[in-house]
Structure 1
Amino acid sequence: MIEREKLLVELESLSEEKFRIFNEKIVHTSKYRVIGVRMPDLKAIAKEHRADYKEIFELPYDSFEEIIIKGVAVGFADAPLCEKEPYIIRYAEMIDNWAECDCFCSCIKVKKSEEDDLLRLAEGLMYRKEEFVSRVGTVLMFSKFSDEPTVRKALAIYDRLPSGEYYRDMAVAWGISVYCVRYPQLIVKYLEHSPISIAVKLAAAQKIRDSRRISDEVKRRVTDTVNLQR
């Protein structure tokens, strides 16, 4: 089991001052200090101790890096989803910036037999009123599932989510752009008829234009569809 004092010594030994200053700017919504350790090093530490993810999760913390380690350890832990689910929910409630959210979602691995349960969990988190908890559910949904029924379910949820909170809105826009890669016609029609805010539609259109996996024709149709609603 890792001791917090030893963990902090290791983190300080890996810190880079220029990177700390840079990272503070991009995770500016976090109320915790930034030590300045790069993500590959944080993931390596968390993977090394993922068997003790429950103990790591309960350690005191006061830094962005310690929070990342907790999430990665939970995500990569070789334990059934039913055992990790309470920790996934608690971690989602702990998050206060986009980097913690997106790193955490990318690290969550489940067995094929657990995918339905993960989908249920993601959907429940999407509906939560807290901005970053909802973002976790949104990112989990579009990053882990790409079948058409689930995509349609996600789009229907987007229509019911409140708008106006930047990081949830940007996750929705990101999700729309991801879905557009595989289902361009569906997304064009969705952007034409969805009641989501024009701000979210404009952000989604920009992300679609930035994608290298979407044709110029689809980008033009999306842009025209959204511009007509401005």
Structure 2
Amino acid sequence: MAHIPDSLLAGYRNFMNGRYASESGRYRALAREGQTPETMVIACCDSRAAPEAIFDAGPGELFVVRNVANLVPPYEPDGEFHSTSAALEFAVQSLKVKNIVVMGHGRCGGIGAALNVNAAPLSPGDFIGKWMSLIAPAAETVSGSTLMTQSERQTALERISIRYSIANLRTFPCVSILEGKGRLTLSGAWFDISSGELWVMNRATGDFERPEEKA
């Protein structure tokens, strides 16, 4: 007998009676015509920071890839398995998105793991440890600072990692070429789970700023 958690079935029923009922025409059009999102969001797996909810996005509006700590690895065409790189390739080359947003968030467990250099692996494979080694140089620098509190170090690395990921995006030829032609924009954002605030990276300085509210 097929089974999934009751809470998911209850949520599905609410979805069918609510959002799907009100947007069924859009869903049918998307099924018939395919997706054409203009924005890709690279976000964290964290259940508290879902891009579709944060940006109030409807079906077909965002192409989202989520991984631990919203990291982008550098371009490595080595024949291995690269899920984030595959999603990026599809978004840029096939869907032809116009924007890529790397969105980090506060209290990120992956970032916390990167800062805890003495933590034991969660399994013999140490998959999280290997993944978070993408930002090891920054993590070592930040974790060694005695001038910041633990929470300040956490926030600092969360935001630094976003800049790292954007730099790694530019190692992909398809990204750097299109950005150079003005056909693709790269942005960074950081979401504060506690307050709901969204901070956006200034492309010129790398600083994170609160966007101005429009009347």
TM-score in terms of structure 2 length:
0.30
TM-score in terms of structure 1 length:
0.29
Say which structure is richer in strand.
Answer: 2
Say which structure is richer in helix.
Answer: 1
- The answer to which structure, 1 or 2, has the higher relative contact order (CA under 8 A, 6+ apart) is 2
